Structure 1
């Protein structure tokens, strides 16, 4: 958890495959703790070929069932099927936008939102922006993308910096 906090969380990323990975992992977290998902991250990376979007989009029901039964991922069939449908939705987005990156980062005008919270209790679970992005993703066929999951995703990929202001990893302290 500490390594994730220090090296990944709230660090802006503009890599389609990494964005897709974190979207899938955030969806897998629904109803669970992030530490459970991080503990299974390597199993997800192995099962989904490092979250290769094209590979994931072509997975069959049988292949998803084999992953569910034979790998160390979270065993929820709906969450696993969401990886496939989200990959298909990302590929569809790429025909309309240059990339998944371009689609997502337009919501923050290409710039990270930097919050200056003094205490973790101030950090919201969702915002109007996460509600809008969630709604837009759902319209495009994405699954497990509710506004709370999407706010967490936006933090994870650095669209939002929600490190508390005293944290050495807050943008103003780097």
Structure 2
């Protein structure tokens, strides 16, 4: 963990990640990396929909709890959750105990598989919105980074049409950033070029 503290003095990072070491690690290793795994897309959908009204750091600290509660983000298993299992999750202190968000995660697992049935993969569905090529932005400061875009509005509208819940445009844009469909690392961040090279 000391490596992250040491690196912090040598590398410029997007300022939002500098709260604690797990946040820095998430920024350095995951955020913005193009995701081609449906399971990983589902994981971020669960976490991001849970974030509504909360900070990402709060959710990140509960990530292991979510992995356990939601069967390591196996959407097939989550889609089969019973009312009893949902009720049990509401008492789980390791996740956000909000019934509507928990029910939304179960609902979204079912909708997720409907998208897969039509498109083959959820990843393919998402990449279709950018013609298969992740968007490479070039922001110089956090003040330039938008909370929503025409792209996130379009994706959110389509997800709503499928019946997804707790995935408005702001949450969807966070998903696009996290999963590398949009590269929003600041241009001076050492990860900007690294992430750009990862896009297929």
TM-score, with length taken from structure 2: 0.85
- Partner in structure 2 of residue 125 of structure 1: 147
TM-score, with length taken from structure 1: 0.97
- Partner in structure 1 of residue 3 of structure 2: none
- Give the Cα separation in 2 of the matches to 1:3 and 1:82: 28
- Give the Cα separation in 2 of the matches to 1:74 and 1:95: 30
- Partner in structure 2 of residue 147 of structure 1: 169
Gaps of 5+ in 1: none
Alignment of 1:56-71 (within 5 A): 56-71=78-93
Select the residue among 12, 15, 21 that pairs with 2:43: 21
Larger radius of gyration, structure 1 or 2?
Answer: 2
Gaps of 5+ in 2: 1-22
- Give the Cα separation in 1 of the matches to 2:42 and 2:67: 11
- Partner in structure 2 of residue 4 of structure 1: 26
Q: What is the CA RMSD across the aligned residues, in angstroms?
A: 1.2
- Partner in structure 1 of residue 183 of structure 2: 161
Residue 142 of structure 1: SS of its match in structure 2? coil
